[in-house]
Amino acid sequence: MMQEIKIIDIIRTRNAILHEFGIKVYNVVKPFVDAQKEVRISFEGLKNVTSGFCNASIGKLFLEVEKPEKFIHITGLEGHDIWKEKVSDAITLARNPEIIRIQNDAISELLIS
C-alpha cells in the first residue's frame, strides 16, 4: 500500500516557502523510500510553494534516492503550473548537479565584476 504524505500536515502551514520546511518533508519521506516503499507526496491544500522548498524536499530526494521515480509520486499540482515548473526544475537540478555549479559560477562572476 502506498503511503500518502501531505506536505501541509508536516509543515503545519499552507505556505511551503522555507528551505527548512523542505528539509522536514525530506526527513519524513526518506525513510519510506530507503525501505523501498512507494510514497505519494501531496501538495494539496497549499497556498504558496517556493523553489527553495522544492529543492530542499523533492530535489534532495531525487538527488539521494536511487530510481526515485519508482518510489516517489507527486500529486496536488493540478492547476498550479508554476508549482509544476518548480518541482520539475528541482528534479532537473538534482539529476544534473553540474547546472548548479555553472549557475553559482555565473552569479559569482556577476558579483565580482
Q: What residue segments make up the domains of the chain, in order of their start? A: 3-112
Residue 113 has pLDDT above 70, yes or no: no
Ranking 5-9, 32-36, 106-110 by mean pLDDT, the lowest is 106-110
What are the Cα distances from residue 57, in Å, to 22, 51, 104, 106, 107? Answer: 4, 10, 20, 25, 23
Q: Is 23 exposed, middle or buried (0-12, 13-18, 19+ CB in 10 A)?
A: middle
pLDDT of residue 55: 95
Amino acid type, 79: G
Q: What tens digit of pLDDT does each residue of 17-45 get?
A: 999 999 999 999 999 999 999 999 999 99
49's grid cell: 510553494
Q: What is the pLDDT of residue 105?
A: 74
Question: What's the whole-model pTM score?
Answer: 0.86
The answer to whether the beta carbons of residues 54 and 94 sit under 8 Å apart is: no
